[in-house]
């Protein structure tokens, strides 16, 4: 369904409720990209996952990912974690369509191209 998705670079996906789990090599890559030590990155930009099985990126007080800058751009885009790279191709949350204008537009264009009617 999302193969024709076009990102609008609005940062909405960085506000969808959930966690961004880091893989083992992510902290070193992200820290290097940010110009900080891996230890400082882990100490200041991550926290233990709710299931206690690794690290996740911290959220800001407003619930957005802490890696989202004031212009709604990802500060770590070239080295972003797998969850971020695979949205919305490999996963979406139940409420992703509420947030993401690109998904909303994609769904509407698919409905227009189909023979069935859907309501939103």
Report residue 41 as tokens.
Answer: 């990155």
Please report whether residue 120 resides in a domain.
no
Please report whether residue 5 resides in a domain.
no
Please report whether residue 84 resides in a domain.
yes
3-state secondary structure of 33: helix
From 7, 20, 26, select the one nearest 72 (Cα to Cα): 7
Report residue 103 as tokens.
Answer: 């998904």
- For 71-97, the pLDDT digits (tens) are 989 999 999 999 888 877 766 777 777
What's the rounded Cα separation, in Å, for the pair 33 and 104?
A: 32
Which residues in the chain show pLDDT less than 70?
Answer: 1-3, 90-91, 106-120
Domain range spanning residue 100? 12-113
Please report whether residue 20 resides in a domain.
yes
Please report whether residue 50 resides in a domain.
yes
Please report whether residue 3 resides in a domain.
no
CB-neighbour burial class of residue 112 (10 A; exposed 0-12, middle 13-18, buried 19+): exposed
The tally of domains found in the chain comes to 1
């Amino acid at each position: 369904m999302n193969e024709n998705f076009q990102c609008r670079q609005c940062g909405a996906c960085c506000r969808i409720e959930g966690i961004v789990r880091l893989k083992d090599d992510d902290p070193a890559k992200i820290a290097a990209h940010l110009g900080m030590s891996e230890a400082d990155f882990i100490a200041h930009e991550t926290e233990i996952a709710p299931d206690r099985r690794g690290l996740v990126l911290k959220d800001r007080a407003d619930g957005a990912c802490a890696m989202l800058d004031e212009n709604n751009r990802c500060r770590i885009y070239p080295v972003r974690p797998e969850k971020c790279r695979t949205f919305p191709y490999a996963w979406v949350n139940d409420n992703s369509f509420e947030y993401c204008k690109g998904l909303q537009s994609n769904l509407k264009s698919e409905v227009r191209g189909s023979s069935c009617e859907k309501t939103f």
